[in-house]
Amino acid sequence: MFVACLLAACLLAACAAVLRGSGMEIVGVAQMFAPGIASTEFSDARLTISPDGRAALWFTRNRTGGAGGYDIWLSRRAADGTWGAAEPVSFNSPARDFDPAFSADGKHVYFSSDRAGGLGGDDLWRVRVNGKGFDKPEHLGATVNSALNEWAPMLSPDGRTLLFSSDGHGGAGRMDLFTSRLTAQGFTAASPVPGDLNTSADEFDATYLADGRDIVFSRAGDLSVDDVKLFHVSPRGGRYARGTLLPEVVNTAASNTYAPMLDWSGPNRLLFTTRRPANNPHAADLYVVKYRH
């Protein structure tokens, strides 16, 4: 009997390990990122951290001191691990500049903007990182941009696939998630993420996880009026299901949770944005949480 019970317990533990390994498990509690520097009384969103961990970017909707109402801000990490005072990046414009994302190699920052030179609405851009800061922004072109809106660009860990959201490329309705392959000739035509992930609701603000396959994304029936929550999905046979709601350690009750991004400086960490009234009753802040598959 003892042997049978022990065997049953071992089998149960093995199955549990397989079940945990087949999905995404949140580890510990979410921590606010750089309070008073990046997470402030302003509305701060879409944190991205460089691969070397020395630079953090995010955008704010209402912080003074930038070039426009929506601006991207930068903080650099000191040798003692503390984050320095925030400053607006050099490539901000008087228009809306938002949704920054470092590439995995740290050589580019991808972002969204409705600045002059686009095709209409919010378009996708990128800027090369140089030794002194940033070069001149580059429009990503008509294969990924449309006359409507493109948001939250994120280049996959292998640097080959651009993941973003758009309401200008067709799809299932409202904002949907799309991908485009990066080739020597540029970006290929955008195509919807395959499967049932895109729905008649708004799917937007997405990131690949460290495996380059799993996706964490935002969903709301109508993002202008409905609660926004984060979902996770793993591909099966190259296709994505509707996704699973992340737990409350990430999603905040009675508040929007959005703008996920993989932390390139620690790929077992997920960055996201939410407003937690106990921490800041007035504005959204930036958070970091560990995860594992």
Task: Summarize pLDDT for 234-253 with one digit per residue, the tens.
Answer: 999 999 999 999 999 999 99
Q: What is the mean pLDDT of residues 159-182?
A: 95
Strands 239-240 and 244-245, bridge-based pairing: unpaired
Please indicate, yes or no, if residue 245 is contained in any of the structural domains. Answer: yes
Q: What is the CATH number of the domain that holds 210?
A: 2.120.10.30
- What span, in angstroms and rounded, lies between the C-alpha atoms of 44 and 217? 18
pLDDT in tens, 116-161: 999 999 999 999 999 889 999 999 999 999 999 999 999 999 999 9
- What span, in angstroms and rounded, lies between the C-alpha atoms of 239 and 243? 11
Of the candidates 48, 77, 12, 102, which has an alpha carbon nearest to the alpha carbon of residue 286? 48
Residue 22 has pLDDT above 60, yes or no: no
- For residue 289, the model assigns a pLDDT of 98
Long-range pairs of 111-117 with CB within 8 A, sequence gap ≥ 24: 111/72, 111/137, 111/153, 112/150, 112/151, 112/152, 112/153, 113/137
- What span, in angstroms and rounded, lies between the C-alpha atoms of 46 and 101? 8
- For residue 132, the model assigns a pLDDT of 86
Residue 1 has pLDDT above 60, yes or no: no
Please indicate, yes or no, if residue 17 is contained in any of the structural domains. Answer: no
Q: What is the mean pLDDT of residues 178-196?
A: 96
- Could you tell me the residue range of the domain that residue 273 belongs to? 26-292
- For residue 4, the model assigns a pLDDT of 40
Average pLDDT of every residue of the chain: 91
- For residue 263, the model assigns a pLDDT of 98
Strands 244-245 and 25-32, bridge-based pairing: unpaired
List Cα–Cα distances, 156 to 159, 208, 239, in angstroms. Answer: 5, 6, 17
SS3 95: coil
> Number of structural domains, the chain?
1
Q: What is the mean pLDDT of residues 30-39?
A: 97
Q: Which residues contact 44 (CB under 8 A, 6 or more apart)?
A: 38, 58, 59, 60, 63, 73, 273, 283, 284, 285, 286
Please indicate, yes or no, if residue 5 is contained in any of the structural domains. Answer: no
Please indicate, yes or no, if residue 4 is contained in any of the structural domains. Answer: no
Tell me the pTM: 0.91
Please indicate, yes or no, if residue 142 is contained in any of the structural domains. Answer: yes
Please indicate, yes or no, if residue 151 is contained in any of the structural domains. Answer: yes
173 — pLDDT class (breaks 50, 70, 90):
confident
Q: Which residues contact 17 (CB under 8 A, 6 or more apart)?
A: none
Please indicate, yes or no, if residue 54 is contained in any of the structural domains. Answer: yes
Please indicate, yes or no, if residue 51 is contained in any of the structural domains. Answer: yes
Which H/E stretch holds residue 4? helix 2-21
